[in-house]
Structure formats: structure tokens, C-alpha cells
Amino acid sequence: MFEVLLFPLIAVALLPSLGDAHAAEVTDKRRGTMTFTSRDVSEICKDCSVVQASGTFGTGTIAAYHEFAQRNFFKKNIYFVLDSPGGSMNAALHLGTILRELNANTIVGQAVVRRGEVEIEPARCTSACVFAFAGGTTRSTSSGSRLGVHSWMPADAVDTESSEGKVHKPRLMDQKAVGELQRQTAVYLKYLQAMGIDLRIAVPMLQTPYERMAWLSRRDQSLWSLITVDSRLSTPADRTWPILFLPQTASARNKALTKSP
């Protein structure tokens, strides 16, 4: 237990010295920079905080999180719902570490408060996002949501385009850069192991080229402990999408059924 809490802090501390890496479709046109939005669930569960985290992980992600945390008081039960194409590995690991320290639950999807309950609509958590998702003490994906992985590269080893439209060519991977990438890989895998993820996930990660994506089946997600058996999601017959079963959701549903004619 001590190792699980301690090692991610060490991993995050090491990352700046290794340089950042990107492992995602960071040019995904559907999303901008990472944002954190609180969903109002006060009428559903007074002891719950539900946070929607959407967008690309970048240099400003952790600052945005701290700004959000200062404005919002976290309750006893914390749920972070993720929808992200990935981005900065440093930022994703840092957020995952924070989530584990908060004892937060992570979910892939889009949280929508509807008819007195929290529905989780489908979304994607790919590449670096998977590392943040791994920080959850319980981890769930809604039906239709997808988890995708691939290899990573140093941020300055891939083509980038500036806001002015100028394309910056990547630096060549010399012996020093290869050694740096290998050290980064060791840190990332140790982080996953500390979070309780089966390292068999490294096979599709490392064998899938940076510019492609390997979509993980529900079977592999379960076998590799990416999703946990104590999932907080369930799809009642009267719903299209699964609902997030907060501590008071079951009792509220039972009361509603009792009142029904």
C-alpha cells in the first residue's frame, strides 16, 4: 500500500528531468485544452463531487486543475469523468497521481445530470489519458466509450505546427535521445504497475506506432485491471446510457419505485 501511494510521486518528480513526451492525437480538432467542470449533484448526493475533465493534456493542465480545486470544495466521494484524446504524458501522470491521493474514482465518458440522476454518455480516453484514468481507485467505462493506447515520443521528436501555421521539424533521435526515451518508458510502466495495472498492457502500447491507435477490448480492459470489478455504472431499463450509481442513487430509485402505482 505504501508503494502505491509513494511511487507515483517519485515518477512525477523524475519526469521533468527526462523531458516531456506526447502520446496522443494532440491535433484532435474536437477538443481544445483540458478543462475541469463541476456537475451539480447536490440534489442527488450531498457527499459527492462529480467533475468532468475534457480536452487535451498540456502544460497548463495541472495549473487549471489547481485553480479549479481552489474554487470547488471536494466532498467525501469524488468522481472524475474523462473525455480526452491525450497529450502531455507529464500532465497525465501528474493528474493521475493527484486523483489517487484524492481517493477519486475515474470514469470514461461525458457526465450529464438528467432526470435526477447522472448519466454517462460515451467518450474516448486515448493515449496519455489512459495514464490519468489509471489513477482512479475504481475505474469504469460507459457502454460505447473506448480506451486507446499507442507508443509515445519526446515532444520535440514529432512534427508540430505553430499557431502561425509553421511546421517545426523534429530533432533526430540520436543515442542520447533513445536512452532518454527508454528511461521515460521505464518510469511510465512503473507508474502503471504502482497504480495496479497489469503490465501486459505494455504490449499493445509499445508495438503500436505513435501515429496509430490500438483500441482495447472490454476483455483486455478487465484482464489487465484497467477497469475494476466494483464499477459504479449500471444501465437501468428506463435509460439509454448507464447511470453513475452515487451512494444515494439506489435508495432514491427504490423510493421512486415504491411510490409508483
CATH number of the domain at 24, please: 3.90.226.10
C-alpha cell read off for 68: 479549479
What are the pLDDT tens digits along the chain (261 aa)? Answer: 323 333 334 344 444 444 565 554 444 444 689 999 999 999 999 999 999 999 999 999 999 999 999 999 999 999 999 999 999 999 999 999 999 999 999 999 999 999 889 999 999 999 999 999 999 999 999 889 999 999 876 655 555 554 555 555 555 666 676 777 788 889 999 999 999 999 999 999 999 998 899 999 999 999 999 999 766 787 777 777 888 888 866 555 555 445 545
Give domain status of residue 139, yes or no.
Answer: yes
Q: Strand pairing partners for 185?
A: none
Which H or E run contains 250? helix 249-259
Rg of the chain over Cα atoms, rounded to whole angstroms, equals 19
Question: For residue 194, what are the CA distances in angstroms to 4, 10, 14, 46?
Answer: 5, 11, 15, 32
Give φ, ψ of 125 to 5 degrees.
-130, 105
The model's pTM is: 0.80
The pLDDT assigned to 232 comes to 72
Q: How far apart are CA 120 and CA 106, in angstroms?
A: 12
Give domain status of residue 236, yes or no.
Answer: yes
| Listed residue (232, 236, 193, 246) closest to 106, CA to CA | 232
Q: How far apart are CA 68 and CA 41, in angstroms?
A: 17
Give domain status of residue 258, yes or no.
Answer: no
The pLDDT assigned to 257 comes to 45
Give domain status of residue 259, yes or no.
Answer: no
Give domain status of residue 182, yes or no.
Answer: yes
Question: For residue 128, what are the CA distances in angstroms to 22, 93, 131, 134?
Answer: 7, 8, 5, 10
The pLDDT assigned to 176 comes to 72
- Edge-first strand order for the sheet with 124-126 is 124-126, 146-149, 214-215
| Listed residue (73, 133, 94, 72) closest to 14, CA to CA | 94
Give domain status of residue 162, yes or no.
Answer: yes
Question: For residue 122, what are the CA distances in angstroms to 140, 141, 192, 212, 251?
Answer: 12, 8, 24, 21, 26
Give domain status of residue 261, yes or no.
Answer: no
Give domain status of residue 99, yes or no.
Answer: yes
If one counts the domains in the chain, the total is 1
Q: How far apart are CA 13 and CA 227, in angstroms?
A: 27
The pLDDT assigned to 129 comes to 97
Q: How far apart are CA 93 and CA 65, in angstroms?
A: 13
Q: How far apart are CA 183 and CA 225, in angstroms?
A: 24
What is the domain extent for residue 156? 2-253
> 138: burial class by Cβ within 10 Å (0-12, 13-18, 19+)?
middle
